[in-house]
Amino acid sequence: MIQIREEPVPKCKYPPKRRLTLSHFVVSKKLARTFTQVKFVKEKSVFKLWKEDTAETAKNCLRHDFKYWKCTKFLKDPEEYKDVTEVIKKHFSSLKEIFLQFVAKGGDPPDIKQLDFLEFCQSSGITDDIITASILDIYFTATNFEESDQGGNDDRALIRFEFLEILVRIVRGKYIETKKMNSLGRGLEKLIVEHVILVKDVHYTWQKFREDHLWTFHVNELFEANYHLLE
């Protein structure tokens, strides 16, 4: 016989009411009162540890991704490799944001599962008679192959440097091997501008969401009062 034990659910606390400072000033010989507006200060909030992207963090991300992706295995021409990395650098901010959007959409961070990646390719118009679901499956498997164990890197999903790598593989199949283009760098630029970037406008910009709705005085008060439940 199964015994069911009832346990009390922790109640959400609401932040205590704060007494606002009153300041007085004279306007047109009349005494007026105004409340001093309480401003949100991120550095003093529960969000203080969040690090915003900078040129330096982007450079570190790229250094990491170029170290671990396998494009060096199949791009033997140094000039061709340089062209590809320059295009990635140029669009990295958008590519990183789109990657995170589909990670969040799948609900299983920190990577994109295969079905979610297929949805990305379909919604961006990458898939066609050449880049089919079966071809993407081949690229997906090749991209996930690891010559040495990488702890935490799921072999059935794409982390960020693998997401960048598979885009390069798609360019080879879509433009280079079909003789539609003879430059991998220009092909990658075309793929990003005409397909990948298009899905960016469909989703909400996460940083804008933080600044407009999350990083506010009242949200911080609520989180702060219930921080013990969130840890």
56 occurs within a structural domain: no
217 occurs within a structural domain: no
Report helix angle 133-144 to 160-171, nearest 10.
Answer: 130
94 occurs within a structural domain: yes
Average pLDDT over residues 50-74: 92
What's the pTM? 0.75
127 occurs within a structural domain: yes
86 occurs within a structural domain: yes
14-28, 44-58, 80-94: the lowest-pLDDT one = 14-28
18 occurs within a structural domain: no
Instruction: Tell me the pairing of strands 30-35 and 22-27.
Output: antiparallel
Domain of residue 203, CATH code = 1.10.238.10
Query: 132 lies in which domain range?
Result: 65-209
Tens-digit pLDDT profile for residues 138-163: 999 999 987 666 666 667 899 999 99
Confidence of residue 134 (pLDDT cuts 50, 70, 90): very high
137 occurs within a structural domain: yes
80 occurs within a structural domain: yes
pLDDT of residue 199: 86
Tens-digit pLDDT profile for residues 84-132: 999 999 999 999 989 988 898 888 888 999 999 999 999 999 999 999 9
Helix residue spans in 69-129 (DSSP H): 71-74, 78-106, 114-123
Q: How many domains does the chain have?
A: 1
